[in-house]
Amino acid sequence: MRPLAPQTSTLNQAELHPELIALLNAVAKVIAFFLFANICIHKMVNFEKTINSQQMDFFKPMNIADNQPDAKKTKGEVEKVKCLIIGSGPAGFTAAIYAARANLSPVMYEGLQPGGQLTTTTEVENFPGYPNGITGPEMMEDLKKQAIRFGTDVRWGLATAADLSGPKHLITIDEEKVIEAETVIIATGATAQYLGIPDEQKYAGSGVSACATCDGFFYRKKDVAVVGGGDTALEEAIYLAGLCKKVYMIVRRNVFRGSKVMQERAMKTPNIEILWKHQTQGLFGNGVVEGVDLIVNKGESNETTAKIKVDGFFLAIGHKPNSDIFKQYLETDEVGYIKTLGDTSKTKIPGVFACGDVMDPVYKQAITAAGSGCKAAIDAERYLSEI
Ligand X SMILES: Cc1cc2nc3c(=O)[nH]c(=O)nc-3n(C[C@H](O)[C@H](O)[C@H](O)COP(=O)(O)OP(=O)(O)OC[C@H]3O[C@@H](n4cnc5c(N)ncnc54)[C@H](O)[C@@H]3O)c2cc1C
CB of 184 to ligand X, least distance (A): 11
Rounded CA-CA distance 226/274 in Å is 10
CB of 118 to ligand X, least distance (A): 4
Q: Using the rule CB under 6 A, is 275 a contact of ligand X?
A: no
Residue 258 or 356 with smaller CB distance to ligand X: 356
Q: Using the rule CB under 6 A, is 87 a contact of ligand X?
A: yes
Rounded CA-CA distance 68/81 in Å is 13
Q: Helix crossing, 18-59 with 5-16: angle to 10°?
A: 80
Per the CB < 8 A criterion, the answer to whether 115 and 142 are in contact is: no
Residue 71 or 211 with smaller CB distance to ligand X: 211
Q: What are phi and psi of 122, to 5 degrees?
A: -90, -85
Q: Would the CA dihedral through 322, 326, 330, 332 be positive or negative?
A: positive
CB of 148 to ligand X, least distance (A): 15
CB of 63 to ligand X, least distance (A): 15
Residue 92 or 228 with smaller CB distance to ligand X: 92
Among 152, 188, 232, 345, binds ligand X (CB under 6 A): 188
Using CB under 6 A as the criterion, what x/- string covers residues 97-126 for binding ligand X? ------------xxxxxx-xxx-xx--x-x
Rounded CA-CA distance 385/129 in Å is 32
Residue 94 or 280 with smaller CB distance to ligand X: 94
Among 83, 86, 96, 224, binds ligand X (CB under 6 A): 86
Q: Using the rule CB under 6 A, is 193 a contact of ligand X?
A: no
Q: Using the rule CB under 6 A, is 152 a contact of ligand X?
A: no
Could you list the beta-strand ranges (E) of 233-318.
246-250, 272-275, 278-284, 291-296, 304-309, 312-315
Q: Choose, from 199, 215, 223, 231, the residue flagged as catalytic.
A: 215
DSSP letters, 138-181, are HHHHHHHHHHHHTT-EEE---EEEEE-SSSSEEEEETTTEEEEE
Rounded CA-CA distance 233/235 in Å is 5
CB of 236 to ligand X, least distance (A): 13
State how far the alpha carbon of 288 is from the alpha carbons of 242, 291, 309, in Å: 23, 9, 12
Quick one: which segment of 5-13, 58-66, 278-286, 359-367 binds ligand X (CB under 6 A)?
359-367
Q: Which of the residues 360 through 379 are near ligand X (CB under 6 A)? A: 364-367, 369
- Is 40 one of the catalytic residues? no
Q: Choose, from 142, 163, 211, 293, the residue flagged as catalytic.
A: 211
CB of 211 to ligand X, least distance (A): 4
- Is 215 one of the catalytic residues? yes
- Is 211 one of the catalytic residues? yes
Among 81, 83, 85, 89, binds ligand X (CB under 6 A): 89
Instruction: Render the burial of 347-378: b for 16+ CB within 10 Å, e for the rest.
Output: bebebbbbbbbbbbbeebbbebbbbbbbbbbb
Q: Using the rule CB under 6 A, is 153 a contact of ligand X?
A: no
Residue 92 or 312 with smaller CB distance to ligand X: 92
Q: Using the rule CB under 6 A, is 323 a contact of ligand X?
A: no
Helix, strand, or coil (residue 1): coil
Rounded to the nearest angstrom, the gap between the alpha carbon of residue 220 and the centroid of all alpha carbons in its chain is 31
Q: Choose, from 153, 199, 214, 357, the residue flagged as catalytic.
A: 214
Q: Which of the residues 209 through 268 are near ligand X (CB under 6 A)? A: 209-211, 214
Judged by CB under 6 A, the number of residues near ligand X is: 39
Rounded CA-CA distance 261/111 in Å is 39
Per the CB < 8 A criterion, the answer to whether 153 and 108 are in contact is: yes
State how far the alpha carbon of 381 is from the alpha carbons of 83, 184, 346, in Å: 9, 11, 12
Rounded CA-CA distance 315/338 in Å is 23
CB of 375 to ligand X, least distance (A): 12
Q: Catalytic site residues? A: 211, 214-215
Q: Kindly list the residues in this chain that would bind ligand X in the complex (CB under 6 A).
A: 86-92, 109-114, 116-118, 120-121, 124, 126-127, 158-159, 187-189, 192, 209-211, 214, 322, 356-357, 364-367, 369
